[in-house]
Amino acid sequence: MKDIKVKGQQKFMNLEIPVIEGGFGEDKKCMSDKTIAEMHNQPNFKIRERIKDNIKRFKEDIDYIDLKVIRDTDDNLELLQTLGYSKMQISKADNIFLLSERGYSKLIKIMDTDLAWEIHDKIMDEYFNMREQLTDSYMIQDSIERAKRWIEEEKERLLLKETIQVQQPKVEYHDKVLNPDKLVTTTDIAKDLGMTAQALNKLLHLNRIIYPERINGRIKCWKPYKNYLWLVPEYADFKITEHDTQLKWTEIGRKWLIEFVENIKKVS
């Protein structure tokens, strides 16, 4: 596994992110595409797309490691689950990337937004450049202190293992219950929000998420604006009926849409 180790968890931007070392050199920190997606509030597949579309700019084993091409072993599966990936996510993914500090910086240059650079500066200061202050247990000369450290490290290891076991059902629930194969209509979601479908579509239109496609002056279907095209493969789909084309949502999209509308209501 190229000596990749998860050293624990770190608080960053209200997230608990795994602290990963190795892979690119001893004690060198790296970061998973999942963590990067969470920090930048983007779908995981969008981060992978950015990397794959610009793969010629990245050097393997220097900028990135693809954990999916590493031999399929129990150790690899355990590592990926420790990084927060469910078994379903692991099996469905074509690539699972780890990025080095240099690789992450290259990705930010490709993203090139003010927010991306702001997060980049924070992660450099608070993650990549923050080194471990504690001495490794095997280097402690005093036998009693060394034994104490061993006990502490074993407690941390067991706590991390317990955390994984507790979180795993939640991750599996997310994959199974928020099933992308089950599509729901805007009308169904509007009912959950105590609105009509017409009112919900109007609200989404005002916030420039969807727009009406008209034929002969009649609304034929609603489509996402360019900035929200990512909704279609991840959160929604177009369902063709005998009457027209409907924008239908996955359960993940339904969850995202409800949260979005509720946040708008809080602000207004």
Tell me how far apart the alpha carbons of residues 189 and 192 are, in angstroms, rounded to a whole number.
5
Pair 75, 158: CB distance under 8 Å: no
Q: pTM to 2 decimals?
A: 0.51
pLDDT at 177: 45
Q: What distance in Å separates the CA atoms of residue 148 and residue 133, rounded to the nearest whole number? A: 17
DSSP label at 226?
A: G
Task: Quote the pLDDT of residue 27.
Answer: 79
The contacts of residue 49 (CB under 8 Å, 6+ apart) are none
Residue whose pair of structure tokens reads 């599996």 in the numeric block = 172
Q: What pLDDT does 206 receive?
A: 87
DSSP string, 112-169: --HHHHHHHHHHIIIIIT----SPPGGG--SHHHHHHHHHHHHHHHHHHHHHHHHHHH
Residues of the chain with pLDDT under 50: 1, 132-135, 173, 176-178, 180, 234-235, 239-244
- pLDDT computed for residue 64 by the predictor: 95
The pLDDT of residue 134: 42
Identify the pLDDT of residue 242: 45
**Distance (Å) of CA 246 to CA 118, 133, 183, 217, 226:** 38, 56, 11, 17, 18
| Beta carbons of 102 and 59 less than 8 angstroms apart | no
The DSSP H or E segment spanning 191 is: helix 186-192
CA–CA gap between residue 246 and residue 212 (Å, rounded): 11
pLDDT value of position 50: 92
Q: Is 223 left (phi over 0), alpha (psi -120 to 50) or beta?
A: beta
* Res 78: pLDDT: 83
- Which residue(s) pair with 247 in the sheet? 238
Task: Output the pLDDT for position 215.
Answer: 74
